[in-house]
Amino acid sequence: MKVPVMMADPNVAIEHPEDDWKIWTVINPAVWMMPWFIVLMVQMWMIHTYALALPGYGFKDSVRVAEPVAMVAPAPEAKVAQVQ
């Protein structure tokens, strides 16, 4: 059975699309999927560790919210020159 890949060109076709499932007998997900998930988990752990260590992010900064705000004396009023 010829299945056209591109409708514009009927000469381009997949030879045996009904046998596509056989690729999984060669590329077994049981071999590569769990190591790949472990690599992704380590990468995610490293990125989140870095991001939560940045100032302003993470749980350690929520403690600062309860601290009182530092009071600063107001700035003296500036003299404004008047134009006549």
pLDDT digits (tens, 9 = 90+) for 52-75: 888 878 777 666 666 666 777 877
Distance, in Å, from the CA atom of 13 to the CA atom of 9, rounded to the nearest integer, reads 9
Arithmetic mean of pLDDT, 69-82: 76
Written as six digits, the tokens of 41 are 């988990």
Specify the pTM.
Answer: 0.45
| Per-residue model confidence as pLDDT tens digits over 10-36 | 665 566 667 777 777 778 888 888 999
Give the distance, in angstroms, between the CA of residue 38 and the centroid of all CA atoms in the same chain. Answer: 17
Q: Which amino acid is at 18?
A: E
Residue 1: per-residue pLDDT: 47
Q: 28-32: which pairs have CB atoms within 8 A and are 24 or more residues apart?
A: none
How far apart are the C-alpha atoms of 18 and 46, rounded to whole Å?
42
Q: What is residue 47's predicted lDDT score, i.e. its pLDDT?
A: 96
Higher-confidence residue of 23 and 37: namely 37
- Token code pair at residue 27: 């590329």
